[in-house]
Amino acid sequence: MNKILAVVAHPDDETILCGGTLALLARAGAAVHILCATRGEGGELGEPPLCAREDLGRVREQEMRCAVDALGGVSVEFLNYIDPAVGENEELHPYTDDFDELTQRLRDHIQQLCPDAVITHGSNGEYGHAAHVLTHRAVVAAVEHAALYTFSPSFPEHPRPRLANADDHADLILDISTAFEQKVAAAYCHRTQNALFVRRSSKRAGRQLSIPEVLMKVEGLHRVIGLLDDRLVDVLETFRLKVAG
């Protein structure tokens, strides 16, 4: 059985940015593992608040386990970094200043799991999130013997341009419609963040949108090094929309 490791900075990144892709890989028989750097302690509490600030990390861990289960994943582990609170003017911060330590911890985890492929944040951190950029850089430095892909690459008519990594071209663009119900279920697991998921799009639309309305039904992968197992590639090819030129 092929092993896939998705490395993300916060709970919900795995769902919003590549949930459909992970669900398709799991459905194809891959063992999908998730490694999250933080428990999202600096995130939102929900509207109305669903817990106290000091309990948010514990709550979001359980939300993430619920989401990964909905996507067909087999394990969730955390690096136990603390997610810093959002700063003034919505400034977003990295969760550590020790890049070498982070890289070594990732390398140790990857060597222990021995995944066939690793999937992580794009080089631009999607919308420029410093923690996403840090995670991308550290994973690239840590991967030695596995294929490496990044999610949310850039391609024409990207459904959520704000989330596209401008410097990462799409090698594979996937219609994840058949896994969309799983992605929706996973998104609802992240109850503390549900209001956040729809806020920006609702404001732009001038009306309150639902979670299914704002989730992407098209996802992509950018290949950094190596290739997925041929059987998994064949499965994903079934859902290919087009290749970026």
What is the pLDDT, as a whole number, of residue 113? Answer: 97
Cβ-based burial of 119 (10 A; exposed 0-12, middle 13-18, buried ≥19): buried
Query: Can you tell me the distance from the alpha carbon of 189 to that of 64, in angstroms, rounded to the nearest whole number?
Result: 7
Give the residue among 33, 37, 50 at the shortest CA–CA distance from 10: 37
Give the domain ranges of the chain.
Answer: 3-237
Q: List the pLDDT tens digit at each of the 245 positions of the chain.
A: 799 999 999 999 999 999 999 999 999 999 999 999 999 999 999 999 999 999 999 999 999 999 999 999 999 999 999 999 877 777 889 999 999 999 999 999 999 999 999 999 999 999 999 999 999 999 999 999 899 999 999 999 899 999 999 999 999 999 999 999 999 999 999 999 999 999 999 999 999 999 999 999 999 999 999 888 877 878 788 888 644 43
pTM for this predicted structure: 0.94
Looking at residue 245, its pLDDT comes to: 39
Q: Give the Cα separation of 95 and 86 in Å (integer).
A: 11
Which run of H or E residues covers position 3? strand 3-8
CATH topology of domain 3-237: Rossmann fold (3.40.50)
The rounded distance, in Å, linking the Cα atoms of 147 and 163 is 23
Q: Residue 243 has what pLDDT?
A: 42
As to burial, measured by CB atoms within 10 angstroms (0-12 exposed, 13-18 middle, 19+ buried), residue 244 is: middle
Amino acid present at 82: I
pLDDT digits (tens, 9 = 90+) for 61-119: 999 999 999 999 999 999 999 999 877 777 889 999 999 999 999 999 999 999 999 99
